[in-house]
């Protein structure tokens, strides 16, 4: 039987940042990609948010910031949500590229500060998520290690869905509740040749945390996803392998 769980609202909005993208894209592409995930290209309202970002996201190469010029003819700047910037952290001598069409902002790994840059250049990027309440819960319905499809069935039978995550905050909640350590765990994400990656619920809005070099579909049969305890990151793996698992339940 599914246990009734209460919905606990967080006080204020919790700000979370996704890991840097694997691919380098233009600033407009980064903007659209983040919005498609229900997020925004990273920007910061204050020093505390910026320090949180630098602490959470290891940045060793240039990456986009969700700030752009209000127009190509002025030096004032706005965030991706259309507001005047409340916080900025320019490198010495920057911004200096208005005449060269440098109308977007990047974090410069060389300067460890901001630089104005052409919006059509390509950088990696991170998305900003604001979570104001938590209406999900994760729990185990068994301690058995089973194959992915059995895990999916057992979660459905219990009134839930094999655990997946729409944003970093949900994954952090899962990590805390399951006390992830060295064990391997199924993630409710699978791949098909026709639709690519999708959740066990059948949706395509999902958060990933791949290990470096993954997913690699070794042998052409790695269509399911696991948390690999050795690396604290994710790996694609054949669905017939056996892992422990947790289910995701809606609570509001």
152 has pLDDT over 80: yes
Mean pLDDT of 120-124: 97
Higher pLDDT, 73 or 4: 73
CA distance 152 to 28: 37
Q: Token pair for residue 77?
A: 């700047």
pLDDT at residue 177, rounded to an integer: 80
Q: Which helix (H) or strand (E) holds 150?
A: helix 148-157
Instruction: Round the average pLDDT of the chain to a whole number and report it.
Output: 88
All CATH 3.10.100.10 domain ranges in the chain, comma separated:
11-128, 136-250
Given 3.90.850.10, 3.10.100.10, 1.10.540.10, 3.30.70.360, which CATH number is that of 11-128? Answer: 3.10.100.10
Q: Class for domain 136-250, per CATH?
A: alpha beta
> Coil, helix or strand for 208?
coil
What is the band of 185 on the pLDDT scale with cuts at 50, 70, 90?
Answer: very high
Phi, psi of 52 (to 5 degrees): -60, -45
CA distance 130 to 91: 27
CA distance 132 to 5: 18
Mean pLDDT of 91-98: 90
Mean pLDDT of 45-73: 91
CA distance 215 to 237: 9
What is the band of 122 on the pLDDT scale with cuts at 50, 70, 90?
Answer: very high
Higher pLDDT, 26 or 56: 26
């Amino acid at each position: 039987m599914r246990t009734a769980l209460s919905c606990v609202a967080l006080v204020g909005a919790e700000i979370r940042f996704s890991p840097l993208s694997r691919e380098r894209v233009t600033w407009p592409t980064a903007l659209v990609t983040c919005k498609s995930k229900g997020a925004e290209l990273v920007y910061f309202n204050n020093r505390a948010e910026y320090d949180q970002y630098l602490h959470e996201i290891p940045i060793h190469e240039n990456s986009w910031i969700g700030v752009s010029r209000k127009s190509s003819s002025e030096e004032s700047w706005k965030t991706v949500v259309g507001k005047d910037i409340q916080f900025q952290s320019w490198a010495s001598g920057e911004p200096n590229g208005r005449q060269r069409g440098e109308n977007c902002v990047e974090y410069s790994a060389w300067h460890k500060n901001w630089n104005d840059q052409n919006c059509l250049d390509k950088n990696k990027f991170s998305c900003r998520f604001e979570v104001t309440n938590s209406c999900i819960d994760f729990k185990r319905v068994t301690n058995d290690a089973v194959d992915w499809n059995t895990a999916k069935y057992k979660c459905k039978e219990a009134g839930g869905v094999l655990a997946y995550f729409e944003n970093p905050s949900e994954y952090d909640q899962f990590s805390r509740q399951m006390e992830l350590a060295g064990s391997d765990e199924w993630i409710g994400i699978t791949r098909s040749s026709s639709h690519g990656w999708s959740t066990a619920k059948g949706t395509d809005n999902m958060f990933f945390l791949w290990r470096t070099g993954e997913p690699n579909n070794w042998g052409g049969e790695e269509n399911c996803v696991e948390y690999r305890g050795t690396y604290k990151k994710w790996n694609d793996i054949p669905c017939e392998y056996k892992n422990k698992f947790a289910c995701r339940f809606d609570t509001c």
